[in-house]
Structure formats: structure tokens, C-alpha cells
């Protein structure tokens, strides 16, 4: 029960204190989020004064009817590749590094701080920093390649731009996964490792049978955050390539349809809803996989 | 002499750690190096060390050309104002919800949590801002950025660690609800509030999409938007551009060096609740 005051009105106060937060949330986030679904059934545009009407599922039909050879399907495939690569590679590397850092060798705190730093620097600073390193005119990456008698346009190359965007995204966000794994590892008692060693388990067996199962909550959090984040992110491509050189994903397509060119915001809303369904699908698949694993234990 | 197998694996682990050390330090060091080069030095060989590390002319050029001080002041204002508002509304909501003082507390918590998954509301959000006359205004951007996301989760999880007996004791002494939140809870929550405050500021500082979308008036540009247009104008003149990047990043680096503990702890606790 509420331990403060016992007048007739004291039960109302908690409702009142929630109100401002709820108001902000509903006005600026929840409302617009739900309105996106409504918009996706209209032909609304960003051009002011244009009349608009409900057009049913036309936006979705347009998306799916576009055929497999078009830009939209390329964006769709790219989104899946981007997301899978980020989720898998980022988590694998972060898991490996966190296990090593957890051994508390000299300088491990500096190492953690360094790898987390890009999370703080943010996408614009990180993006331009990498553009500088990848500068095709005699930049350090180009000079490295010249040792092997080859050269590249890097972020301006149709073959290399997309893998580079994926790598920079992982480079930028990995610190976040790393600190989550490290905090998960700290909850595992030292005695368990000792017991494992006494029983004659090797490093890999200890990792497989002690670390991984006890780290499950951190793995779940990291994978979920990576799925949600990687499917929706577009500021990375926005800063690095603006979607050129075959790096455009669905979320960037959504942004550009909505606010560039003819500003087809109804159509862009449909893409936003499809992205949401994609996020939901991957999250559900992941949870199904988790449940199956638990059943097997 | 034979090398034992686990010695070999120790060596390879150190090699991999060294590789990542290089990957995370090189871009930063290179950026600093370029920011001290003259344009001629850069054209000759971008990678060679700068001739004079006490020559700050690129920084003065960047400040003059880029209006960066103005942009940074704008961002600090947006970030601090929306952070204070965010913390205030989030504390007020986090206490009753984590103590379940209202009916449907769990449902409310989950509704706030849903913001992580729900469709991106960018388009209606933008139209709403235009409709309300908040587009291209500083107060509009500040209101829009009052967020009930990560900060809210950090605060609710922290309140759960404060013993409920304290509420009861204060109540018996005749303390009122608001009085309790302001006089007792907020001082107790300093670590969580600090985490939330700094994480929010970092989030606003890095909001390139919001900066591009919600401002057309150059005088209102936040820092990263200023950097964005600086890049658009001087994209090939890397030495002053590098100086501009460092100027924009410097406040963040300072915040990070000073408050690393709060930032990382906050990021972790926000993630686990979310």
C-alpha cells in the first residue's frame, strides 16, 4: 500500500506524478509510432497542401509486386545480410574479448574503456574518422593496399562499400556488447572455474559448459539489442555513403522516401511497418531457439 | 626447444588483442595527426607525422569557418535542458511504477518498454512537430527529445534497490508523496541520475538524424549537424576538417574520461532492464 498520507486524495497523487512522462511518451513516441501504421494505408506525402486519401494495401502491394530484380529487393536482402552479420560478428568478437579481459590482465580497464569509446563518440564523428582513414587519395588504408600492388575506392567502391559499412557499424557498437558481457561474466563465481579445472576440463570445455550457460542472460540481451538495432539503424549509412555504392538498407530507404525527393510518406510508412514485422519475426525466431535450447538442457 | 600448446594459444590471444588495440587506437591517433598538418603536408603524404604539433592553425580555421562554438553551445543547451526535463518526468513516473502504487503498474512499464520494438514513428513525429509549430525551434527540439526510454529503465531498476522500509518510515513521520520524492529519493538516487543525465547528453550530442530533420535555420544547428554541413562544404580539405571533428568530439571525450564509470554502469543497467 502507499505509505504516504491517508486523506481522501492521497491515492490520486501517484497517478498524477506518472502523467507528465506518459504525456511526453504518448505524444512524441507511442502516438507517432501507431500513426505510422495508419499512414501506411494512405497516399500521404510530405508536400504541404496535397490532398490525401486511404488507399488500402496499395503501398504494401507496391512493395511486394516490385519483383526480385529491383532496388527494393536489393535493399531487403541487404538489410538481412547487414543484420545477420552485425548480430553474429559483433557478438562473437565481443564474447571472445570479454572472456579475455575478464582474466584481469594488466590494462584490462583501459582496454574496455578504449573499445567502448566509439559508442560515446557517436556516428558522425566515427563516420568521418573512418572516411579519413579510408580516404582513397593516399590515405593509410590505400597505402597499406599499395604494399600488395592493389588499390580501392573503399567507401566509393561497389564491391567494398557495403562490407566496410558493416565493419564500421560493428567497430562502433562493439563496446556496448562488450560491457554487457563483462558485467555478465562478473556474476559467475570464481569457484566454478576452479572446480572445472580440478575436474580436468580444458579451456574450451570450461567456456562451453560453464561460461556460456551462465552468461545466457547477457547473451539474450545482446542478441536482442543487436537484432533490433541493426535492422533499424540508418544513420551509419547516412553519414558514410548516403546509400550509394549499394549500401542502402530498408531503414535508409524509408528515410529517403519520406523526406527526400517526392516525399512519399505513406509508402515510407509501409516500409517502417514492414521493418517492424521483420524485427518481430527475428526476435520471435530467436526466442523460439532459446526455448528449444532450454528444453534440451 | 619446443613450444607448449597453451603457450602458443596465449601468444595468439595476445596477438588478437593487439590487433584490436591497433584497430581502436589508430583512427583516433591518425585523426589527431592530420589535424596538426598543413594542407601542403597532407597533400604530399597524408600518413607522415605532422611537422609541428603545437601549431593550432587548423583549429582556428575550423572555428572561424565552421561556426563550431555556436553549434556546440546550441547542443549543450538542447542536451542539458532536455536531460533535466527527462530526469524530472522519469523520476516522477519511475517511483510509483516500480513501487506499484498505481493500478496497472506492470502494464505501464511494458508500454514504456514497447518503445524499443514498435514501428519507427519518425514520419508522424515530423508532421506533428510541423503541425504544432515546433519545427525549426529550439524548444520544440528539446520537448521532442524528452525521452522515457533508457533513462526511465535505469531509474526504475535503481529504485527497486532502495528498501521499501524507508518509504514506510518516512510515511510514518508524516512525509508527503512529492516531498518524499524530492527530499529523500532524489538525493539517494544520485548515481542513477548521473548515469541517466550523461547518457541522455551523449544521445542528444550524437543525434545526427534529428539535427538534419528538425532544423533548417543555421543559427540553431546542433554540433553534429554543424559538422555535417562543414563536411559538405570542405569535404576535401581534411586538415581543418579533422580539427573540426576533434572540436565537436572533445566535450564528449571529456565527459567520458570524467564519468566513465557512470556511463558504462548506466548503459549496462539500462540494457538489462530493456
Please write the tens of the pLDDT for every residue from B89-139. 999 999 999 999 999 999 999 999 988 889 989 999 999 999 999 999 999
Residue from the list B31, B101, B148 with its beta carbon closest to the beta carbon of A14: B101
Chain B contacts in chain A segment 45-84 (CB below 8 A): none
Is A258 in contact with B123 (Cβ distance < 8 A)?
yes
In chain B, what percentage of residues exceed pLDDT 70? Answer: 96
> What's the whole-number mean pLDDT along residues B224-247?
91
What CA–CA distances, in Å, run from B103 to A239, B106, B144? Answer: 45, 8, 28
Is residue A171 a contact partner of residue A189, using CB atoms and an 8 Å limit?
no
| B contacts of A114 (beta carbons < 8 Å) | 21, 24-25
- Residue B130 C-alpha cell reads as 510541423
Rounded to the nearest angstrom, the minimum Cα separation between B77 and chain A is 18
- Contacting residues for A63 by C-beta, under 8 A, at least 6 apart: A72, A267, A270, A271, A274
Residues in chain B with CB shorter than 8 Å from the CB of A20 are 88-89, 92-93
Closest CA to A76 of A225, A231, A226: A231
Contacts of A207 (CB under 8 A, 6+ apart): A99
Given this model, what pLDDT does residue B194 score?
93
Which of A19, A23, A31, A33 to mutate to test binding with chain B, by most B CBs within 10 Å of its CB? A33
* Distance set, CA A268 to CA A105, A162, A253, B97, B146 (Å): 50, 23, 8, 35, 25
Instruction: Give contacts of B147 with chain A, Cβ < 8 Å.
Output: 29
What CA–CA distance (Å, rounded) separates B209 from B94? 28
Overall average pLDDT of the B180-207 stretch: 94
Task: List Cβ neighbours of A143 (8 Å cut-off, separation of 6 or more).
Answer: B47
- Residue B50, sorted as left (phi over 0), alpha (psi -120 to 50) or beta, turns out to be beta
Quote the percentage of chain B above a pLDDT of 90: 77
Residue A235, pLDDT > 60, answer: yes
Residue B174: its pLDDT value, please?
86
The pLDDT value recorded for residue A50 is 82
Q: What's the pLDDT tens digit per position in A142-201?
A: 999 999 999 999 999 999 999 999 999 999 999 999 999 999 999 999 899 989 989 988
Helix, strand, or coil here: B72? helix
Average pLDDT value over all residues in chain B: 92
Asked if A100 and B17 count as a contact pair (C-beta separation under 8 A), the reply is: yes
Residue-level pLDDT at B29: 96
pLDDT at res. B233: 87
Taking CB atoms and an 8 Å limit, are B13 and A100 in contact across chains?
A: yes
Residue A167 to residue A149: CA distance in whole angstroms: 23
Q: Beta strands of chain B (E only): which ranges?
A: none
Phi, psi of B59 (to 5 degrees): -70, -40
| Buried b / exposed e along B244-258 (16+ C-beta atoms within 10 A) | bbbbbbebbeebbee
CA distance A133 to B197: 33
Cross-chain residue pair A20–B92, CB shorter than 8 Å: yes
pLDDT tens profile A10-36: 788 999 999 999 999 999 999 999 999
Say if the Cβ atoms of B241 and A128 lie within 8 Å: yes
Please tell me if residue A148 touches chain B, with a CB cutoff of 8 Å. Answer: no
- Chain B nearest C-alpha distance from A139 (Å): 6
B273 vs B70, residue with greater confidence: B70
Top-confidence residue, A47 or A124? A124
Q: Closest CB to B45: pick one of A112, A122, A138.
A: A138
pLDDT band at A105 (very low <50, low <70, confident <90, very high): confident
Confidence of residue B8 (pLDDT cuts 50, 70, 90): low
Euclidean distance between CA atoms B140 and B145, whole angstroms = 9
**Mean pLDDT value of segment B146-169:** 92
| Residues of chain B with C-beta less than 8 angstroms from the C-beta of A17 | 92-93, 95-96, 177-178, 181
- Point out the residue among A39, A228, A232 whose CB comes nearest to the CB of B124: A39
Distance CA B131, CA A43 (A): 18
Kindly tell me if the per-residue pLDDT of B145 is higher than 90: yes
CB contact under 8 A, B177 and A2: yes
pLDDT, position A250:
95
CB contact under 8 A, A33 and B119: yes
pLDDT confidence of residue A6: 67
Quote the pLDDT of residue B141: 97
Q: Do A211 and A176 form a contact (C-beta atoms < 8 A)?
A: no
Task: Name the one residue in this structure whose C-alpha cell is 510515511.
Answer: B171
The answer to whether A272 and B122 have CB atoms below 8 angstroms apart is yes
Q: Give B15→chain A minimum CA distance, Å.
A: 12
Per-residue confidence (pLDDT) for residue A170, from 0 to 100: 98
Identity of the residue in B89, B97, B271 whose CB atom sits nearest the CB atom of A24: B89
- Looking at residue B205, its pLDDT comes to 94
DSSP state of B115: G
Distance CA A28, CA A34 (A): 11
Q: How far is CA B11 from CA A95, B15, B181, in A?
A: 19, 6, 54
Q: Which residue of A has its CA nearest to B175?
A: A4
Mapping DSSP onto H, E and C, the string for chain A reads CCCCCCCCCCCCHHHHHHHHHHHHHHHHHHHHHHHHHHHCCECCCCCCCCCCCECCCHHHHHHHHCCCCCHHHHHHHHHHHHHHHHHHHHHHHHHHHHHHHCCCCCCHHHHHHHHHHHHHHHHHHHHHHHHHHCCCCCCHHHHHHHCCCCCCCHHHCCCCHHHHHHHHHHHHHHHHHHHHHHHHHCCCCHHHHHHHHHCCCCHHHHHHHHHHHHCHHHHHHHHHHHHHHHHHCCHHHHHHCCCCCCCCCHHHHHHHHHHCCCCCHHHHHHHHHHHHHHHHHHHHHHHHHHHHHHHHC
Instruction: Give the model's pLDDT for residue A101.
Output: 93
Above 60 in pLDDT, residue B2? no
Question: Residues B11-57: pLDDT tens digits?
Answer: 888 899 999 999 999 999 999 999 999 999 999 999 999 988 899 99
A7 phi-psi bin (left φ>0, alpha ψ -120 to 50, beta other): beta
C-alpha cell at A25: 511518451
Position B274 pLDDT exceeds 60: no
For residue A117, CA distances in Å to A197, A228, A286, B180, B228 come to 35, 21, 29, 37, 21
pLDDT tens sequence across B51-76: 888 999 999 999 988 889 999 999 99
Q: Determine the average pLDDT of the residues in A121-138.
A: 95
Q: Is A159 on the interface with B (CB under 8 A)?
A: no
List chain B residues with CB under 8 Å of A36. 119-121, 123-124
- Asked if A178 and A119 count as a contact pair (C-beta separation under 8 A), the reply is no
Q: What percent of chain A has pLDDT over 90?
A: 76
Interface contacts A/B by beta carbons within 8 Å: 252
Quick check: A270 contacting B, CB < 8 Å?
no
**pLDDT digits over A265-280, tens only?**
999 999 999 999 999 9
CA distance B151 to chain A (A): 12
| Predicted pLDDT of residue A282 | 94
Query: In this complex, is the C-beta atom of A164 within 8 Å of any C-beta atom belonging to chain B?
Result: no
State residue B273's pLDDT score. 67
**Which of these ranges, A46-55, A158-167, A227-236, has the smallest mean pLDDT?**
A46-55
pLDDT of residue B66: 86
What share of chain A in percent tops pLDDT 70? 97
A97 touches chain B (CB under 8 A): yes
Question: Could you tell me the sign of the dihedral formed by the alpha carbons of A109, A111, A115, A117, in that order?
Answer: positive
Taking an 8 Å cut-off on Cβ atoms, the answer to whether A17 and B255 are in contact is no
Amino acid at each position: 500500500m502507499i505509505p504516504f498520507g491517508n486523506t481522501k486524495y492521497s491515492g490520486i497523487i501517484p497517478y498524477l506524478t506518472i502523467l507528465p512522462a506518459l504525456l511526453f511518451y504518448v505524444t512524441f513516441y507511442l502516438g507517432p509510432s501507431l500513426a505510422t501504421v495508419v499512414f501506411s494505408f494512405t497516399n500521404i506525402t510530405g508536400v504541404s497542401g496535397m490532398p490525401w486519401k486511404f488507399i488500402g494495401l496499395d503501398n504494401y502491394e507496391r512493395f511486394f509486386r516490385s519483383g526480385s530484380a529491383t532496388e527494393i529487393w536489393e535493399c531487403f536482402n541487404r538489410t538481412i545480410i547487414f543484420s545477420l552479420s552485425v548480430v553474429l560478428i559483433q557478438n562473437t568478437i565481443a564474447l571472445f574479448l570479454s572472456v579475455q579481459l575478464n582474466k584481469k590482465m594488466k590494462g584490462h580497464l583501459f582496454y574496455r574503456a578504449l573499445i567502448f569509446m566509439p559508442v560515446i563518440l557517436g556516428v558522425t564523428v566515427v563516420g568521418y574518422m573512418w572516411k579519413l582513414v579510408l580516404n582513397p587519395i593516399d590515405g593509410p588504408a590505400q597505402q597499406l593496399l599499395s604494399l600488395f600492388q592493389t588499390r580501392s575506392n573503399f567507401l566509393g567502391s561497389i564491391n567494398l562499400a557495403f562490407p566496410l559499412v558493416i565493419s564500421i557499424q560493428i567497430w562502433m557498437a562493439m563496446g556496448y556488447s562488450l560491457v554487457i558481457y563483462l558485467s555478465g561474466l562478473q556474476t559467475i563465481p570464481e569457484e566454478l572455474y576452479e572446480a572445472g579445472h580440478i575436474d580436468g576440463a580444458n579451456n574450451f570445455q570450461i567456456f562451453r559448459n560453464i561460461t556460456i550457460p551462465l552468461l545466457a542472460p547477457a547473451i539474450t540481451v545482446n542478441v536482442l539489442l543487436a537484432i533490433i538495432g541493426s535492422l533499424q539503424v540508418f544513420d551509419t549509412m547516412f553519414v558514410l555513403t548516403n546509400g550509394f555504392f549499394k549500401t542502402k538498407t530498408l531503414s535508409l530507404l524509408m528515410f529517403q522516401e519520406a523526406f527526400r525527393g517526392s516525399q512519399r510518406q505513406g509508402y515510407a510508412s509501409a516500409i517502417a511497418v514492414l521493418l517492424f514485422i521483420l524485427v518481430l519475426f527475428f526476435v520471435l525466431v530467436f526466442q523460439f531457439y532459446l526455448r528449444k535450447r532450454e528444453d534440451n538442457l | 626447444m619446443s613450444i607448449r600448446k597453451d603457450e602458443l594459444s596465449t601468444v595468439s590471444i595476445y596477438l588478437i588483442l593487439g590487433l584490436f588495440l591497433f584497430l581502436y587506437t589508430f583512427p583516433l591517433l591518425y585523426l589527431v595527426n592530420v589535424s596538426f598538418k598543413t594542407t601542403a603536408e597532407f597533400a604530399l603524404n597524408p600518413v607522415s607525422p605532422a611537422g609541428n604539433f603545437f601549431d593550432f592553425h587548423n583549429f582556428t580555421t575550423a572555428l572561424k569557418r565552421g561556426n563550431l562554438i555556436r553549434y556546440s553551445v546550441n547542443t549543450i543547451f538542447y542536451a542539458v535542458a532536455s536531460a533535466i526535463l527527462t530526469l524530472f518526468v522519469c523520476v516522477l513516473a519511475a517511483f510509483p511504477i516500480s513501487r506499484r502504487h498505481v493500478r496497472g503498474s506492470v502494464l505501464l512499464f511494458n508500454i514504456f518498454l514497447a518503445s524499443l520494438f514498435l514501428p519507427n514513428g519518425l514520419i508522424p513525429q515530423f508532421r506533428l512537430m510541423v503541425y504544432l509549430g515546433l519545427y525549426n525551434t529550439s524548444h520544440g527540439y528539446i520537448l521532442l527529445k524528452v525521452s522515457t526510454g533508457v533513462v526511465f529503465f535505469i531509474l526504475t531498476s535503481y529504485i527497486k534497490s532502495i528498501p521499501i522500509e524507508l518509504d514506510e518510515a518516512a510515511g510514518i513521520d508524516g512525509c508527503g508523496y512529492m516531498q518524499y520524492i524530492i527530499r529523500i529519493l532524489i538525493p539517494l538516487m544520485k548515481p542513477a541520475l548521473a548515469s541517466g543525465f550523461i547518457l541522455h547528453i551523449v544521445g542528444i550530442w550524437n543525434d545526427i538524424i534529428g539535427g538534419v530533420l528538425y532544423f533548417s535555420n543555421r543559427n540553431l544547428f546542433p554540433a553534429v549537424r554543424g559538422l555535417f554541413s562543414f563536411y559538405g562544404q570542405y569535404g576535401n580539405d581534411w586538415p581543418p576538417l579533422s580539427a573540426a571533428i576533434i572540436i565537436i568530439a572533445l566535450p564528449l571525450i571529456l565527459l567520458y574520461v570524467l564519468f566513465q564509470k557512470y556511463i558504462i554502469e548506466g548503459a549496462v543497467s539500462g540494457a538489462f532492464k530493456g
